[in-house]
Amino acid sequence: MAARRRTVGLTLLVPVLALLASCDSRPGQAPPSPQPNGRDTVSIDVDKRPVLMHVPASYRPGSAVPLVVILHGYSSTAAGIESYFQLTGQSDARGFLYAMPEGLEDRRGNQYWNATDACCDFDRTGVDDSAYLSQLIDAVRRSYTVDRVFLIGHSNGAFMAIRMACEHADQLTGIVGLNGAMWADKSRCRPARPVSFLDIRSNADEVIHYEGGLNGADGRTPYPSATTTDSDWRDFDRCDQQAKRGTPLDLVPDLDGAETEVTSWSCAGHSTLETWQIRGGSHSPKLSAAFASAAVDFMYAQGTA
């Protein structure tokens, strides 16, 4: 059955996934909207920035379900990251609400999130995407019944998901990041409570180096290694010292065998830190259909105790 497309809110919205012209960085308030019933694709207007959201057929008002927010990488789009991660089918199968926001456009015409000083507000606009995404989560909660909230992102989107966990932990159950990192200055991250984190990193990443590196507007701003990012998060979440080795995963079809090593730690507040190291993986590894299912499995295992 083809998805029905309808508009939510008081203003006429631009076509779904179109480039957004407004660059107002102030967080806005989305008006309450009717709750659609049945398989639907809707748009929510948050601060004049329409957000596409997929509502699965199984959704019923009053019955709480998870919300998953996907965050694209630098120069990508919501449509691009959905095509890469392919979570719409998981939304239908597993029953979660699925929001797909767009970053603003920089002067080179590339969409971005202002996540950390290393990535990726290269024009130094100072846009407060952390507040914007917080407002988006609140807007969805006003119109739908949500029990848990997860962010999942690639590259710049992974940096942004980590920043959200640093600054809006009270709104989140967990985050999933593919090839991103947190602040080099650990003191800039102060989660108010433990947030589960699935940190997926390619050890042959040619863009965001596994061992850390330099980026940012001046090309000289450091970001930490995967090992440091994970060590810092173990401190934030007050994790056990004992790591657990999981069964390797086969997520990248053009790499031989089960190329992804799995390690996890049990942490405070029933949270989890889990790392997937893609041996030989690039910055944007070719992902099999198993990736989306495995990432959602991780999310659904969080916040249920």
Domain boundaries, the chain: 4-9+31-300
Instruction: Give yes or no for residue 35 having a pLDDT over 80.
Output: no
Over 90: is that where the pLDDT of 28 sits? no
46: phi then psi, degrees, rounded to nearest 5: -120, 110
Residue 232 pLDDT: 97
Q: What is the pLDDT, as a whole number, of residue 31?
A: 32
The least confident of 44-48, 119-123, 129-133, 293-297 is 44-48
Strands 111-112, 146-154: pairing is unpaired
What is the band of 184 on the pLDDT scale with cuts at 50, 70, 90?
Answer: very high
Instruction: With a cut of 70, say whether residue 3 has pLDDT above it.
Output: no
pLDDT of 18 above 50:
no
**Region 51-55 average pLDDT:** 95
pLDDT recorded at residue 37: 39
Q: What is the structure's pLDDT at 304?
A: 66
Which superfamily is assigned to 4-9+31-300 in CATH?
A: Alpha/Beta hydrolase fold, catalytic domain (3.40.50.1820)
More confident residue, 184 or 5: 184
Model confidence at 10, in pLDDT bands (50, 70, 90)?
very low
Residue 48 confidence (pLDDT) above 60:
yes
| Per-residue confidence band for 303, with pLDDT thresholds at 50, 70 and 90 | confident
87: Cβ contacts below 8 Å, ≥ 6 apart: 68, 70, 98, 152, 292, 295, 296
pLDDT, mean of residues 4-16: 30
pLDDT-derived band of residue 2, with 50, 70 and 90 as boundaries? Answer: very low
Comparing 16-30, 35-49, 269-283, 286-300, the range with the smallest average pLDDT is: 16-30
Per-residue tokens: 154: 């690639």
**How far apart are the C-alpha atoms of 150 and 197, rounded to whole Å?**
10
pLDDT of 50 reads: 87
Average pLDDT for residues 175-203, to the nearest whole number? Answer: 97
User: How many helices and strands (H and E) does the chain possess?
Assistant: 6, 15
Distances (CA, A) of 164 to 10, 137, 160, 242: 28, 11, 6, 27
Banded pLDDT at 41 (limits 50, 70, 90):
confident
Q: What is the spatial distance between Cα 33 and Cα 61, in angstroms, rounded to a whole number?
A: 12
Q: What is the pLDDT of residue 45?
A: 84
Mean pLDDT of the chain: 88
